[in-house]
Amino acid sequence: MAFANANEFFTSLSAKFEDPATRASLNELGAVYHFSLSGDGGGDFCIDLKNLTYADSAPASSDCKVGMTAEDFVGVVNGTIMSQQLFMMGKLMIEGDMTLALRLEQVFNAAR
């Protein structure tokens, strides 16, 4: 499934929280991710994999904060842009646990 914008991705992911297999897969990460997306369609988004909840706002605290443009984010979740390339170009910023950032592909796959 290709996502048109970041909001579509997060809505799709939160709907998958109801699926038992997806719940088990994501809950094992046990992390709070904060996505800070700039530009058109951007904003702050929070995925709490400890409680399997989603919010379209910044969390009080997070284990891993990911910053990039909303356009680049959509490219990453759709698989048309490699996150490693964005990181090396300074277009993807990570704060917090880098190991959790490396496991984001697991989160992205759950929404597809």
Kindly report the number of other CB atoms within 10 A of residue 6's CB atom. Answer: 22
CATH architecture of 6-111: 2-Layer Sandwich (3.30)
Phi-psi region of 97 (alpha: psi -120 to 50; beta: other; left: phi over 0): beta
Q: Nearest-CA neighbor of 100 among 42, 40, 31, 44?
A: 31
pLDDT at 112: 81
Beta strand ranges found along the chain (DSSP E): 32-38, 43-48, 53-55, 64-69, 93-96
pLDDT at 1: 79
pLDDT at 60: 96
Question: What three-state secondary structure class fits 61?
Answer: coil
Per-residue pLDDT of the chain (112 residues; tens, 9 = 90+): 799 999 999 999 999 999 999 998 898 999 999 999 999 999 999 999 999 999 999 999 999 999 999 999 999 999 999 999 999 999 999 999 999 999 999 999 888 8
Sorted by where each begins, the domain ranges of the chain are: 6-111
